[in-house]
């Protein structure tokens, strides 16, 4: 595999990504916020959220679903809530525009929420909770997606893959961050198994009769399952509710209907909750944050990994040598840029 | 089994519970808040959190760990956070004393948090999130416990059984409520299997060498596992952090050390987050809450159950005929009262 990779600097990668997005017609704010995120993911070796995403972006923009120049509108009128209307643009610029208000409110009140509405999903949630945690706050983020996942005890899809992400600030280390889908597996993983002619593991999906299946095609026609049985299913329902109706946005079933079979990125809402330890802890903050460090040590001292630990190790590794990019992908991205220019 | 049950009215059950707790020396506030909760659980046929708990309460109070007359202190000085110091009393009175402030803050700001500190755990979290949801708010609650559960990839316990509970208000129905432990099973379930000489299911626990075990005794000496692999483990870590260091309280490992082998109920903190849909949704509230009802219908119309549905059915069933109580338990409770009086 390593012979298929080459290394480019983060600056070059960001330039390439930005140039493609600008050539595609995105406003500079959208181009910048997306380029920043895909380059971060590439450097962390989260390839499925890295530069590869730009190709999907070209597809989605060409379909005309997403407004590539949408200007997010920030409404801070509720004391503890920031509402950002993404106006059918990508989510990342809306996040960026609302973030200072979210941090400001949480720092004054102790806790605050940000609701991003009418956005097209872009990338994972970990870059967002990581950034909030880098500001010293605790963050929780969630979104619905498209209804591919059956509730526990059911056979027809209701929920999305509904990710949940969490970030915790650490003084002398990268934030503690996790970001997981509440489905047992990613939909893309099932598709990849299908293309490779490989059976999928049990527990990922059921067929349209509700029977457990290891056949990728039957799984995609049936329903995916949540992780962790009825507990994962409950969690997925919570995400539907809090990042859907609570913030005046669509559930996964509504978002899928809205898509109308186009297969675009899900259009939906996102809820982010931020909490400020300084307000909770005051002068005792140092002492209490050390309790958290003791817990992290109790995990890592026995050889278990913290979530995101592998990602941070990749980031450190790639800081000097540059970002690993598949040679074929890099060529495709350069061709895409040439064809757009 | 039904021959072992008799039915008593909720009024009689509450009187019996209150009398036992008062005779035990609890202040009327503690006695009342505990009696209310155990009677609710009994009527919902959650027997492990019902009247049976009073026997454990007698044990814990006699050990002298819990302050049975502690007066909770409410600190509302932070705009978005209510801090309730339970002063080493039971958690339920602290919850009750802080609740009006939590609801008031959430209704003004849109979101607020309540941190309950230095409390002895009592009962499940669902009565609390259900009550908040009955007030029209969305609620999320969590606590650490004692460190019995290994992190994913580890073999030594770090986490507690760390429950997470969620409540969502519904206009024409009981709230949508779930409350689950992030451990694969309850510790009491493993103990019950051991006493019955039955093997425990795979996936519940590992022995002290880190090998999967179906032997209850080896499991109790080893470590319990989280539900849902690394995702459940991440969630459990989040609960340790948010309901521990963030609110100036103990992690599960610290709480277990504090217990010093006494085997009392865990002394710890609890974090509750409340969100007010009225602030998020304004005039569009009716329309958006109906989106949630559509999602519930998509679950129940295919024959799947909502969490708590079985509990609410029991409540309805027992409203007329009274609360089912095991005859042997009822006799033991009456003897306990006689011995205390």
Instruction: For residue A111, give the nearest of B113, B182, B295 by CB distance.
Output: B113
B41 lies in the same domain as B164: no
Q: B277-335: per-residue pLDDT in tens?
A: 999 999 999 999 999 999 999 999 999 999 999 999 999 999 999 999 999 999 999 99
Q: State how many domains chain B has.
A: 2
Interchain pair B275, A113: CB under 8 A: yes
Most A CBs within 10 Å, among B139, B164, B228, B286, to test the A interface:
B228
- Which residues in B lie closer than 8 A to residue A113 (C-beta atoms)? 110-111, 275, 280
* Average pLDDT over every residue of B20-36: 97
Which CATH number do you get for residue A319?
1.10.1530.10
Q: Which of A97, A101, A130, A189 is catalytic?
A: A189
Interface contact A231-B298, CB threshold 8 A: no
A44 part of a folded domain: yes
Cβ contacts of A229 on chain B, cutoff 8 Å:
227-228
Interface test with A, best of B222, B291, B309 (most A CBs within 10 A): B291
CA-only gyration radius of chain B, Å: 20
Flag if B295 and A158 touch (Cβ within 8 Å): yes
Chain A contact set for B115 (CB, 8 A): 280
CA dist list (Å): B58 to B21, B22, B33, B64, B95: 8, 11, 16, 10, 21
Three-state secondary structure along B264-290? CCCEEEEEEEEECHHHHHHHHHHHHHH
Do B138 and B12 share a structural domain?
no
Residue A31 is predicted with a pLDDT of 97
Say yes or no: A299 and A312 in one domain: no
Category of B105 on φ-ψ map: left (φ > 0), alpha (ψ -120 to 50) or beta: alpha
- CA torsion through residues A60, A63, A66, A68, sign: positive
Q: Are B295 and A81 within 8 A, CB to CB?
A: no
In this prediction, residue B303 carries a pLDDT of 96
Chain B residues in contact with A155 by the CB 8 A cut-off are 302
Q: Which residue of B has its CA nearest to A278?
A: B246
| Residues of B noted as catalytic | 48-49, 189
Average per-residue pLDDT in chain A? 95
What the block records as the tokens of A64 is: 């005309």
Asked whether residue A160 falls in the same domain as residue A279, the answer is: yes
> Could you tell me the two tokens for B24?
């035990």
List chain B residues with CB under 8 Å of A112. Answer: 80, 109, 111
Q: What is the pLDDT of residue B281?
A: 97
Residue of A nearest to B115 (CA): A280
The reply to whether A277 and A152 lie within a common domain is yes
A59: pLDDT confidence band, cut at 50, 70 and 90? Answer: confident
Can you read off the two tokens belonging to residue B158?
């770090």
Contacts with B117 from chain A: Cβ below 8 Å: none
Interchain CB distance below 8 Å, A241 and B138: yes
A41 CA: distance to closest CA in chain B (Å): 20
Q: How confident is the model at residue B1 (pLDDT cuts 50, 70, 90)?
A: very low
Chain A residues with beta carbon closer than 8 angstroms to that of B229: 227-228
Q: Read off the pLDDT band of A265 (50, 70, 90).
A: confident
Question: Which residues have a Cβ under 8 Å from the Cβ of B19 and sit 6 or more positions away?
Answer: B337, B341
Query: Same structural domain for residues B323 and B299?
Result: no
Q: Are A89 and A176 members of one domain?
A: yes
> Judging by beta carbons within 10 Å of its beta carbon (0-12, 13-18, 19+), is residue A199 exposed, middle or buried?
middle
B268 and B338 belong to one structural domain: no
Nearest Cα to Cα of residue A250 among A96, A138, A145, A124: A145
Cα distance between residue B54 and residue A277, in whole Å: 36
Pairing of strands B138-142, B163-168: antiparallel
Q: CA-to-CA distance for A302 and B23, rounded, in angstroms? A: 47
How many residues are recorded in chain A?
341
* Cβ–Cβ < 8 Å for A190, B335: no
Spatial separation of the C-alpha atoms in residues A208 and A188, rounded to whole Å: 19
Residue B196 maps to a domain: no
- Rounded (10°) angle between helices B229-242 and A285-300: 160
Closest-CA residue of A relative to B228 is A228
pLDDT at A3: 55
With a CB cutoff of 8 Å and minimum separation 6, the contacts of B113 are A110, A111, A275, A280, B80, B81, B82, B102, B271, B272, B273, B274
Q: Using the beta-carbon criterion (under 8 Å), do B111 and A108 form an inter-chain contact?
A: no
Is B251 contained in some domain? yes
Q: Can you give the CATH number for the domain in which A108 is found?
A: 3.30.1370.60
- Nearest CA to A153 out of A92, A237, A91, A217 is that of A237
Q: Do residues B241 and B273 share a domain?
A: yes
Contact B232 A231 (CB under 8 A): yes
The pLDDT value given to residue A64: 87
Angle at which helices A10-23 and A28-43 cross, to 10°: 140
- Considering the domain architecture, whether residues B7 and B80 belong to the same structural domain is answered as no
pTM value > 0.95: yes
Q: Is residue A202 part of a domain?
A: no
pLDDT over threshold 60, residue B3: no
Is B88 part of any domain?
Answer: yes
> Band of the pLDDT at B2, cuts 50, 70, 90?
very low
Using CB atoms, pick whichever of B109, B237, B251 lies closest to residue A291.
Answer: B251
- Residue B264 pLDDT exceeds 90: no
**Catalytic site includes residue A49:** yes
Active-site position among A49, A121, A193, A268: A49
Token pair, residue A184, equals 């047992």
When computed from its CA atoms, the radius of gyration of chain A, rounded to whole angstroms, is: 20
Q: Are residues A128 and A155 in the same domain?
A: yes
Residue that the structure tokens 């802890």 belong to: A281
In a domain, B205, yes or no: no
With a cut of 50, say whether residue A1 has pLDDT above it: no
DSSP of B27-66:
-HHHHHHHHHHHHHHHHTT-GGGSTTHHHHHHHHHHTT-S
Closest chain B residue to A108 measured between Cα atoms?
A: B79
pLDDT for residue A65 is more than 90: no
C-alpha angle A284-A287-A292 in degrees, rounded to nearest 5: 120
- Domain range for residue A111? 80-183+226-307
Query: Per the CB < 8 Å rule, is A281 touching B242?
Result: no
Does one domain contain both B175 and B272? Answer: yes
Distance CA(A143)–CA(A163), nearest Å, equals 6
Q: Does B12 map to a domain?
A: yes
Measure in Å the smallest separation between the Cα of B257 and chain A Cα atoms. 13
Give the strand pairing for A163-168 and A176-181: antiparallel
Q: With CB atoms and an 8 Å threshold, state whether A238 touches B152.
A: no
- Three-state DSSP at A125 gives coil
Nearest CA in chain B to A253: B295
Does the complex come out with an ipTM higher than 0.95?
yes
pLDDT value for A261: 87
Locate the chain A residue with the closest alpha carbon to B117. Answer: A280
The CB-side HSE value for A314 (13 A sphere, CA atoms) comes to 15
**Nearest chain A Cα distance for residue B77, angstroms:** 10
Look at strands B111-120 and B81-85 and give their pairing: parallel
Q: Which residues pair with B36 in a beta bridge?
A: none
A-chain residues within 8 Å CB-CB of B109?
78-81, 109, 112
Assigned domain for A119 exists: yes
């Amino acid at each position: 595999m390593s012979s298929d990779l080459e290394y480019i600097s983060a600056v070059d990668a960001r330039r390439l990504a930005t140039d493609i997005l600008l050539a595609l017609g995105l406003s500079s704010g959208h181009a910048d916020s997306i380029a920043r995120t895909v380059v971060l993911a590439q450097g962390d070796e989260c390839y499925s959220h890295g530069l590869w995403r730009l190709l999907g972006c070209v597809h989605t923009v060409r379909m005309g679903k997403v407004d590539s120049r949408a200007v997010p509108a920030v409404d801070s009128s509720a004391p503890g809530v920031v509402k950002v209307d993404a106006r059918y643009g990508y989510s990342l610029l809306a996040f960026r525009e609302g973030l200072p208000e979210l941090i400001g409110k949480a720092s004054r009140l102790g806790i605050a929420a940000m609701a991003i509405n009418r956005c097209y999903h872009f990338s994972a949630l970990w870059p967002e909770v990581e950034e909030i945690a880098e500001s010293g706050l605790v963050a929780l983020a969630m979104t619905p997606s498209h209804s591919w996942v059956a509730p526990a005890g059911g056979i027809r899809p209701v929920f999305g893959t509904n990710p949940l992400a969490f970030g915790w600030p650490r003084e002398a280390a990268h934030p503690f961050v996790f970001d997981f889908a509440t489905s047992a597996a990613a939909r893309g993983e099932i598709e990849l198994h299908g293309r490779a002619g490989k059976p999928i593991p049990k527990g990922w999906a059921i067929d349209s009769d509700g029977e457990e299946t290891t056949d990728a095609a039957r799984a995609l026609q049936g329903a995916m399952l949540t992780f962790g049985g009825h507990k994962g299913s409950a969690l997925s329902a919570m995400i539907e509710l809090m990042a859907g109706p609570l913030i005046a946005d669509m559930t996964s079933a509504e978002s899928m209907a809205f898509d109308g079979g186009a297969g675009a990125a899900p259009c939906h809402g996102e809820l982010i909750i931020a909490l400020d330890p300084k307000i909770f802890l005051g002068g005792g903050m140092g002492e209490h944050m050390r309790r958290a460090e003791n817990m992290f040590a109790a995990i890592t001292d026995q050889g278990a990994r913290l979530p995101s630990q592998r990602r941070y190790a990749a980031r450190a590794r790639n800081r000097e040598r540059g970002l690993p990019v598949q040679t074929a992908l890099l060529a495709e991205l350069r061709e895409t840029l040439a064809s757009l220019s």
